[in-house]
Amino acid sequence: MTYQALARKWRPHNFDELVGQAHVRRALINALRDQRIHPAYLFTGTRGVGKTTLARILAKCLNCETGVTPTPCGVCSACREIDEGRFIDLIEVDAASRTKVEDTRELLENVQYAPTRGRYKVYLIDEVHMLSGHSFNALLKTLEEPPPHVQFLLATTDPQKLPATILSRCVQFGLKRIPEGAIAEQLASVLDREGLSGEPDALRDLAHAADGSLRDALSLLDQAVAYGGGTVNEADVRDMLGTISRDAVLRLLQTLAAGDAMGVLGVVDELAEQAADFASVLTDLLTALHRLAVRQFSTPVPDGADSTDGVWSDLAAALSPEDVQLYYQIALIGRRDLPLAADPRSGIEMVLLRMLAFRPGTGEMQTARGLTPPSIPTTRSPPAPVGAAEPRAEYTSTPAGREEAAARPTHTPASAPIPMVSSSAAATSTGSDTGDWAARVAALGLRGLAGQLASHTSLISADDGHYRLAIERASEHLCTEMARQRLTEALSAADGCQVRIDIQVAESVGDTPAVQAERVAASRQSEAERSIETDEWIQSIRAQLDAKVVPGSVRPHVDAPNLNDR
């Protein structure tokens, strides 16, 4: 007996067997039950999600000998002939091979005649977007006012190419990609009915490779059964698909978390020996990083728990959210640029080493197994943390305080430590006196959302490890649980004891570190513009060439020389 492919053998024959597409199934079942059948239906969606299958099931529902019903019997001659593709009143047309207007006119010549055997004459036009403009015009009138015994079922993967006049005459159903979990369950069911065995991880890999298409998944299952000699296991499936094991991805992430450059290169060397597709390696790494990011924000992992769930939890704790987001972006760009590399292996090695070189909060590459980047001599001071205000003199309300403040330098040297606020001093500070709080925020070196939260608050008091902060209502969205937790941890580490923070929301909180930073930036910008305007050389050029300075083009630079000193 001739072997029948699994995709054809296990094609659904009724609505109950259909996988996914519950929204379409419900609408069609209700329409058939209430006898509210539209003369033209359009099924759209990517390949292998059930467009043609739905059309054939609907044709059976309309022509079953038991009557128009959402549950065709499946045993009458009409149902069996439709399943076997030989029902004379089901006219299936491949629009990709019959695009000419002559073909469409020939097809519509017999529309007016009654069906030969069935109740309805059903026209199933697949890939309808391939018809020419003249073919659409020829179809238009018939589609709008077909005879009562005619049913049009159109299917396409690209509905954007259909004219609006065609779309307006059809009831359109958009079929969705089938979830990986549903595909894996269907593959397991098919294997069970075939009397074959398969590992759950192998079926998940096939479902992932199918990319939402059940037909592609069944075709891959056919290939996997042949490849494994009747069994479907994870190792064989990964060899067949050219993907790497989960252990390799985990080891890559573990070496990245440890800052182990030699370990990263060792894993790449092992993958090269296995002739792995490095573009697929980056894709698997992106999937793993997404999983880590989801786990870090206390959301259930999409594919649920597995045997390595504890390892994933450890990785989620070892890598900060900033690390994961940066690694994801570097891997995403690296996959795009991989064809431009000298060879795929060197390309992925540079992507992974770039993750270590630009790790947040380090400013330099992590030392790993004796690999220390060469030091670069420089005379410039290291940049201040993002969001830090420039240290400046403090002023008090008393004359003596003002004289003392004037005697102090207005800039803290780069080598000098930033002053820390003491508990006794903080206890008397108010929302309008945030100079020490700004220095404290800068010293904490917080980044991301936690750094933004700290910079937009003012210190009300700090006594016995209890910090009372204020934040404007406009910045209240920064007070997320994770940002508060990271700020608490940073303050606890700086004080050497466990602290707690309370944040009050107010309409105005005074001079926050963020406000101070904006004021310093505005002052520098104003000084830069004034320097340009008063520079003799610039004035000479403007006079001789009738030139002008473009508004907004002047940018301050901390290390730039004064133009007037020339």
pLDDT digits (tens, 9 = 90+) for 73-132: 989 999 999 998 899 999 998 888 877 888 888 888 888 888 988 899 999 999 999 988
Mean pLDDT score, 477-497: 87
Asked, for residue 400, whether it belongs to a domain, the answer is no
pLDDT at position 308 over 90: no
Identify which of 373, 469, 384, 458 has the alpha carbon closest to the alpha carbon of residue 418. 384
Q: What is the pLDDT of residue 276?
A: 83
Contacts of 342 (CB under 8 A, 6+ apart): none
**Percent of the chain, pLDDT > 70?**
82
Q: What is the pLDDT of residue 558?
A: 54
CATH number at residue 153: 3.40.50.300
Identify which of 233, 195, 237, 198 has the alpha carbon closest to the alpha carbon of residue 220. 237
Query: Which domain covers residue 250, as residue numbers?
Result: 246-357
Helical segments of 358-501, H only: 399-407, 423-427, 435-444, 448-455, 481-495
Q: Are residues 79 and 16 in the same domain?
A: yes
CA 25-29-34 angle, to 5 degrees, is: 155
Q: What is the pLDDT of residue 1?
A: 53
Mean pLDDT score, 480-494: 88
Q: What is the pLDDT of residue 238?
A: 84
Q: Are residues 164 and 21 in the same domain?
A: yes
- Give Cα 239 distance to the centre of its chain: 27
pLDDT at position 398 over 70: no
Q: What is the pLDDT of residue 382?
A: 42
Q: How many CB atoms lie within 10 A of CB 247?
A: 11
Pairwise pLDDT comparison (97 vs 330), residue with the higher score: 330
Q: What is the pLDDT of residue 424?
A: 34
Helix (H, G, I), strand (E, B) or coil at 80: helix
CATH number at residue 489: 3.30.300.150
Q: Are residues 450 and 467 in the same domain?
A: yes
Asked, for residue 365, whether it belongs to a domain, the answer is no
Q: Are residues 166 and 190 in the same domain?
A: no
506's enclosing H/E stretch is strand 500-506
Q: Which of 241, 262, 278 is the last residue of a domain?
A: 241
Dist. CA 484–CA 488, nearest whole Å:
6
Asked, for residue 370, whether it belongs to a domain, the answer is no
Q: Are residues 443 and 351 in the same domain?
A: no
Phi, psi (rounded to 5 degrees) for 197: -115, 150
pLDDT at position 406 over 70: no
Dist. CA 284–CA 267, nearest whole Å:
14
Place of tokens 């055997």: 117
Q: Which of 316, 333, 357 is the last residue of a domain?
A: 357
Torsion angle in degrees (nearest 10) through CA of 298, 304, 308, 310:
30
CA 111-115-121 angle, to 5 degrees, is: 65
Q: Are residues 26 and 86 in the same domain?
A: yes
Q: What is the pLDDT of residue 300?
A: 53
CATH number at residue 334: 1.20.272.10
Q: Which of 241, 257, 276 is the last residue of a domain?
A: 241
Average per-residue pLDDT in the chain? 80
Q: Are residues 94 and 113 in the same domain?
A: yes
Q: What is the pLDDT of residue 526?
A: 84
Distances (CA, A) of 484 to 307, 464, 469, 476: 33, 19, 11, 12
Q: What is the pLDDT of residue 298?
A: 67
Q: Are residues 287 and 420 in the same domain?
A: no
Q: Are residues 223 and 265 in the same domain?
A: no
Q: Are residues 159 and 15 in the same domain?
A: yes
The pTM of the full predicted model, rounded to 2 decimals, is 0.57
Q: Are residues 281 and 302 in the same domain?
A: yes
pLDDT, one tens digit per residue, over 5-58 is 898 889 999 999 999 889 999 999 999 999 999 999 999 999 999 999 999 999
Q: Are residues 91 and 159 in the same domain?
A: yes
- Give Cα 132 distance to the centre of its chain: 37
Dist. CA 132–CA 139, nearest whole Å:
11
pLDDT, one tens digit per residue, over 247-279 is 888 899 999 988 889 999 999 998 888 888 889
pLDDT, one tens digit per residue, over 129-155 is 998 888 888 888 888 888 899 999 999
Specify the number of domains making up the chain: 5
Asked, for residue 170, whether it belongs to a domain, the answer is yes
Q: What letter would DSSP give residue 100?
A: S
Least-confidence region, from 65-79, 100-114, 212-226, 322-336: 100-114
Asked, for residue 393, whether it belongs to a domain, the answer is no
pLDDT, one tens digit per residue, over 408-443 is 433 333 333 333 333 333 333 333 344 588 888 888
Q: What is the pLDDT of residue 386?
A: 39
pLDDT, one tens digit per residue, over 363-382 is 444 444 444 444 434 333 44
Mean pLDDT score, 498-513: 87
Asked, for residue 381, whether it belongs to a domain, the answer is no
Asked, for residue 462, whether it belongs to a domain, the answer is yes
CATH number at residue 198: 1.10.8.60
Identify which of 295, 190, 269, 260 has the alpha carbon closest to the alpha carbon of residue 232. 190
Asked, for residue 214, whether it belongs to a domain, the answer is yes
